[in-house]
Amino acid sequence: MIQETGSNHPTSLYIYTDQNSYEPLARIDKDGNQEQHIRYFHTDLNGCPEELTDANGKILWECSFQLWGKRIHEIEHEPIEQNLRYQGQYLDRETGLHYNTFRYYDPDIGRFTQPDPIGLLGGLNLYQYAPNGLTWIDPFGLMCSNTSFKAAFREAKRRLRIPRNTNTTKPVKVYDNKYENRMVWEYKVDGNKKYIILHEEDKFGRGPHFHTADDLHGDPLQPKVRYNQHGGHIPENMTGITNAKGRK
């Protein structure tokens, strides 16, 4: 979706995080000769919009979803319609299905409503969306892919409450033969140090993933020192982040 127009709503131009992404960043609304308005998307790890805000951060629209994209509740704080769902999907409000370019997706059952166009070459389950709806995406309804480095890093920033417009700091490679080698990004938020940590692998065989940490005790920039790492992995699956190894 690049742009949509209609007689009952303004013209909306969509802007994405980069030229190869289907994760929305902003949309520009213009109604006739009136002043245009820029709205900003706030998304989940998989790029699904959760909030739409104005330039001042005021929430105009918000929605919470179950794992496979079924709406739990949707609130319009102002008369504004937001139909983007999983990356590459657009909600048809009459049927409740998501248009996914080559197929329709039903969020109530977490499956496509048509079989895979390439048949069994796509796998034994012809209607499957992806192995995991949180960390996998399928923008065209043809082939799913795993969590990108950029999406996982953004999720780590969100968990640490680091503003999205904060410049990315230069990472430091820490070689640690007592614990685990790691790449560390340090941020200062409200006078406190916060850290995003990349492990390219771990002793359990998990693929590249992020952790978050703070400065309550220990410093992840120092080798052979325990530090206050928060629980959980980003992403939680064992495959980990795509295109992460050697990332600087």
**pLDDT tens digits, residue range 89-117?**
999 999 999 999 999 999 999 999 999 98
List residues bridging with 39 in a β-sheet.
Answer: 27
The token pair that represents 239 in the structure block: 């495959």
Average pLDDT over the chain reads 88
pLDDT in tens, 142-196: 888 777 788 788 889 988 989 877 888 899 999 988 888 899 999 998 889 999 9
| Whole-number Cα distances in Å, 82 to 28, 67, 89, 172 | 12, 19, 12, 40
> Which of the listed ranges 57-61, 130-134, 160-164, 218-222 does the model predict with the highest average pLDDT?
57-61
Rounded-to-integer distance, Cα 81 and Cα 76, Å: 8
Give the span between the Cα atoms of 29 and 145, in whole angstroms: 31
Pairing of β 9-16 and β 24-30: antiparallel
Percent of the chain with pLDDT over 70: 96
Residue 19 has pLDDT above 80, yes or no: no
Q: What are phi and psi of 27, to 5 degrees?
A: -140, 145
Q: E strand or H helix at 152, and its extent?
A: helix 149-159
Residue 85 pLDDT > 90 = yes
**What is Dmax (Cα atoms) for the chain?**
64
